[in-house]
Amino acid sequence: MIEHLKAHFGEDIESAEQVGREVRVRLRPAALVAVCRFCKERGYRYPADITAVDTGSEMRVVYRLVSLDNGEHAVISAGVPRSGASLPSITGVFRGADWPEREVYDLFGVRFVSHPDLRRILLTDDWQGFPLLKTGSVQDR
């Protein structure tokens, strides 16, 4: 799988390694939609989870696509800036990406371009700020 990805996407794949049943890939945001579609066509049809991790120094959005046939996880990470982040939406590839992307927007402030209905999902509509970022405050007033 890793060879296929590297062959197909070349430079866009920043790093790829196999850890147990996970194929961990780090890529450039521009290639996100294409890579996800590539994986879906190869059997990784179950979009188990989409979330973000803010380590304080850098932030990445993590997509976990699972193959129901061989049980492997394709864990795709895209690095994003901690403010003003934006990524292409993969709702065109997976309908199930709609809500998780809304949640990442709600809690981390990552905007998903061409998402059909990007609005807050867990917090109230008038909430200021993005709580899960490591900024030290939960709500900006």
Q: How far is residue 89's CA from residue 94's CA, in Å, rounded to a whole number? A: 10
Minimum CB distance to another protein smaller for 9 or for 42: 42
Residues in contact with another protein by CB under 8 A are: 21-22, 45-49, 51, 53-55, 62, 64, 68, 71, 73, 75, 94-96, 98-100, 107, 120-124, 131-132, 138
Specify whether the backbone of 114 is left (phi greater than 0), alpha (psi in -120 to 50) or beta: left
Q: Please, what is the minimum distance in Å from the beta carbon of residue 38 to another protein?
A: 16
Q: Please, what is the minimum distance in Å from the beta carbon of residue 132 to another protein?
A: 6
Yes or no: say if 31 and 12 are a contact pair by the CB < 8 Å rule.
yes
Minimum CB distance to another protein smaller for 18 or for 30: 18
Q: How far is residue 132's CA from residue 12's CA, in Å, rounded to a whole number? A: 28
